[in-house]
Amino acid sequence: MQSRTPVGRAGRPRSAAADTAILAATREALVELGWSKLTLGDVATRAGVAKTTLYRRWAGKNELVVDAVAELFAALELPDRGSLAADIEGVVLQFAAILALPEARSGLMAVIAESTRDEALRARIRSSIVEPQKHLVLEGRSRARLRGELPPEACPAEASRTADLIFDIVAGAVVHRTLVSAEPADEEWVRRFTDVLLLGLAGAPGA
């Protein structure tokens, strides 16, 4: 599990307790008020801090919500369940469970929508949410190679590109299933998805 502290501005030392309270208050406000009505003033009141404390840490609502959502995804871990397929199923089920949280759904959809007009926000989403989770793909592939489930990696650059592609496939499928189609990513769906991911369309059961 990775801990993540938002990047602050120069000045007095950061308070981890204040950061935790602010991010938790942001997620609470997202659920109760929604994106459009959420304000930094309301978050400050809920967190029990001065509004200026938020502005010393975050430039605005977009950045604050990204970091509040990123903290949820920082809890993702790759379980060791004895096989590559079982490991994938375990982490995908965790991912789907996070996306099922109201604060994750509302926050993620909102910042993605806002990022279509804001390149800086897109970069923050990539650096705070996407990139930190790609290590799970690298970890899973490394573990599978040690088990003999995958061949040795021939080229580090190609390994990185492959890891990026795998991440995109997994994240894209689960986000579409849960947030766009609004269907459950339950154990049966995750098992079938894992079969397709590992075996390909031609080799997956029922193909």
Kindly indicate the confidence band of residue 157, based on its pLDDT and cuts at 50, 70 and 90. Answer: confident
Query: Which whole number is the average pLDDT over 23-40?
Result: 92
**Amino acid letter at 110?**
A
Could you tell me which CATH number the domain at 70-200 has? 1.10.357.10
Domains 16-60 and 70-200 alike in fold: no
Query: Which whole number is the average pLDDT over 46-75?
Result: 92
pLDDT for position 205:
65
pLDDT for position 3:
43
pLDDT for position 153:
79
pLDDT for residue 203 is more than 90:
no
d(C-alpha 183, C-alpha 186), whole Å: 9
Kindly indicate the confidence band of residue 160, based on its pLDDT and cuts at 50, 70 and 90. Answer: confident
pLDDT in tens, 100-133: 999 999 889 889 988 999 999 999 999 999 998 8
Q: Give the DSSP per-residue string, 114-162.
A: HHTT-HHHHHHHIIIIIHHHTHHHHHHHHHHHHHTSSPPPS-HHHHHHH
Query: Which whole number is the average pLDDT over 177-206?
Result: 87
d(C-alpha 187, C-alpha 124), whole Å: 32
pLDDT in tens, 167-187: 999 999 999 999 999 999 999
Contacts of residue 122, Cβ cutoff 8 Å, sequence gap at least 6: 115
Can you state the angle between helices 84-99 and 135-147, rounded to 10 degrees? 160
Kindly indicate the confidence band of residue 35, based on its pLDDT and cuts at 50, 70 and 90. Answer: confident
Kindly indicate the confidence band of residue 200, based on its pLDDT and cuts at 50, 70 and 90. Answer: confident
3-class SS of residue 79: coil
pLDDT in tens, 68-101: 999 999 999 998 999 999 999 999 999 999 999 9
pLDDT for residue 55 is more than 80:
yes
d(C-alpha 24, C-alpha 181), whole Å: 28
Instruction: Dig out the tokens for 43 from the structure.
Output: 């978050």
CATH class, range 16-60: mainly alpha
Domain boundaries, the chain: 16-60, 70-200
